[in-house]
């Protein structure tokens, strides 16, 4: 890992200018309460790894990097730039506001936003050249109401997930209306998309069923006169396990951040095993104390020490994104060992029982990282807490500063790669 580092305030400052170049800074010499260190080289390499997997089956395949929810907690703007460096040609977000923020940072690559109420004011997004997902006639009407020349839109289709997207009963009338607006030069239809429900469940029959349904709608769209739109269905688990879902482009979210969503299983090509987690959540021990046997720890006194021991206080809690479900089950890395949380995770702190091991205030503690030294990973935390790795990384709150490291942290690509 390069020593080049960029702090979150530097990235924010860079986002406000057209150049988008952040000045490199070194880590503070003082101890920090907590920080999320994001390896931008890993993020770029993960993007390249996933794109290579796609192009083994489709040499012209493209990749959309999904940077919604502030880049899954990693930072939307730096994550977008690293993904573009790694070969992404499109960016995807949930909301138009997220897309406009990328544009404000000087990013010119195609950006798609697919989740918005039909009554939302999308003028800023349209005028910024953001492509908007349409899930109903009301969404089409909202775009047509904007005073702009041929806004770019993509039709999102519900092929069985039962969430956002045009339902099977409405797809004919929506496609006909969108095609008519396209022919009249009122919109440009740039894409057709859907989303898989169970791609992370190896062997699930719904993947093939949704793929067939998507093909049928693509054919119907072409009959309506929508020709040449980019087709995309596959998410990260589909890229790892379902090549038949690739079409023209894939949308990768969690994979570019280095987490394998296949519940710890490797795909046949070994791509999932090549992904490297980009985020390391770390902090410093704030306090240590010796306590006698039977001493209670944290709210509810659900944990009592079994012998005289040393307790170490970690100043991170659920206000920072540490799941309360990690109480007495989550592990951290301290002084070369995994140590389990003692008692309940509180709003601002958690406690670790260190026995007779020598630990001291100021010691570095890793909550999760890539696992290189044996430290817990985000997926390991997810398993302990009964959730998924997506939630572990996206919930790390704004009170935890981000620090960006790696050679890619100093790069500032704005456009898409080929």
Provide the Cα torsion 166, 169, 170, 172; round to 10°.
110
CA gyration radius for the chain? 23
The two structure tokens encoding residue 137? 């006639």
Cβ(349)–Cβ(325) under 8 Å?
no
Cα distance between residue 391 and residue 30, in whole Å: 30
Task: Please indicate whether residue 299 is annotated as part of the active site.
Answer: yes
Enter the DSSP assignment of 265.
P
Cβ(86)–Cβ(48) under 8 Å?
yes
Cα distance between residue 367 and residue 369, in whole Å: 7
Task: Please indicate whether residue 337 is annotated as part of the active site.
Answer: no
Cα distance between residue 220 and residue 401, in whole Å: 48
Give me the catalytic one of 68, 90, 246, 390: 68
∠ CA 70-76-79, rounded to 5° = 130
Cα distance between residue 359 and residue 29, in whole Å: 20
The two structure tokens encoding residue 358? 């020598």
Give the DSSP per-residue string, 337-384.
Answer: EEEEB-S---SS-EEEE-TTS---TT-EEEEE---TTS---HHHHHHH
Phi, psi (rounded to 5 degrees) for 81: -65, -40
The two structure tokens encoding residue 55? 């192009």
Cα distance between residue 11 and residue 105, in whole Å: 9
∠ CA 298-337-311, rounded to 5° = 25
Residue 230's H or E segment, with its range, is strand 230-232
SS3 string, 26-61, reads CCCCCCCCEEEEEEHHHHHHHHHHHHHHHHCCCCCC
Helix axes of 76-85 and 40-55: crossing angle, nearest 10 degrees: 50
Give me the catalytic one of 90, 156, 246, 299: 299
Q: Could you give the residue numbers annotated as active site?
A: 68, 299
């Amino acid at each position: 890992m390069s020593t080049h580092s960029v702090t979150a305030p530097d990235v924010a400052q860079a986002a406000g200018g057209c150049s988008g170049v952040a000045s490199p800074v070194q880590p503070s010499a003082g101890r920090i309460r907590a920080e999320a260190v994001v390896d931008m080289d890993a993020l770029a390499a993960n993007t390249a790894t996933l794109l290579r997997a796609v192009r083994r089956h489709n040499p012209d395949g493209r990749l959309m990097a999904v940077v919604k929810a502030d880049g899954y907690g990693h930072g939307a703007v730096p994550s977008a730039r690293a993904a573009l460096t790694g070969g992404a040609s499109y960016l995807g977000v949930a909301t138009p506001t997220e897309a406009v923020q990328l544009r404000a940072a000087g990013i010119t690559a195609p950006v798609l936003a697919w989740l918005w109420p039909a009554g939302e004011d999308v003028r800023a997004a349209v005028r910024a050249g953001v492509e908007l997902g349409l899930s109903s006639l009301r969404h089409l009407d909202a775009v047509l109401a904007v005073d702009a020349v041929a806004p770019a839109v993509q039709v999102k289709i519900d092929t069985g997930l039962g969430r956002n997207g045009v339902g099977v009963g409405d797809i004919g009338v929506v496609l006909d209306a969108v095609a008519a607006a396209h022919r009249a030069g009122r919109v440009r239809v740039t894409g057709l998309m859907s989303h898989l429900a169970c791609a992370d469940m190896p062997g699930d029959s719904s993947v093939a069923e949704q793929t067939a349904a998507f093909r049928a709608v693509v054919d119907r769209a072409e009959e309506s006169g929508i020709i040449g739109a980019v087709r995309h269905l596959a998410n990260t688990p589909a890229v790892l396990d379902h090549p038949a879902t690739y079409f023209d482009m894939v949308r990768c979210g969690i994979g570019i951040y280095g987490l394998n969503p296949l519940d710890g299983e490797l795909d046949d090509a070994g791509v999932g095993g090549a992904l490297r987690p980009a985020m390391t959540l770390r902090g410093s021990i704030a306090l240590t104390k010796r306590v006698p046997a039977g001493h209670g720890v944290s709210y509810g006194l659900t944990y009592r020490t079994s012998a005289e021991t040393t307790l170490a206080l970690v100043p991170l809690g659920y206000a920072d994104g540490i799941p309360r479900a990690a109480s007495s089950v989550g592990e951290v890395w301290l002084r070369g060992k995994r140590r389990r949380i003692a008692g309940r995770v509180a709003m601002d702190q958690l406690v670790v029982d260190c026995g007779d091991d020598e630990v001291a205030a100021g010691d570095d503690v890793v909550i999760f990282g890539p696992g290189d030294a044996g430290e817990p990973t985000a997926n390991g935390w997810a398993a302990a807490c009964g959730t998924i790795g997506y939630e572990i990384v996206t919930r790390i709150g704004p009170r935890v500063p981000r620090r960006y490291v790696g050679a890619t942290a100093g790069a500032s690509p704005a456009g898409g790669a080929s």
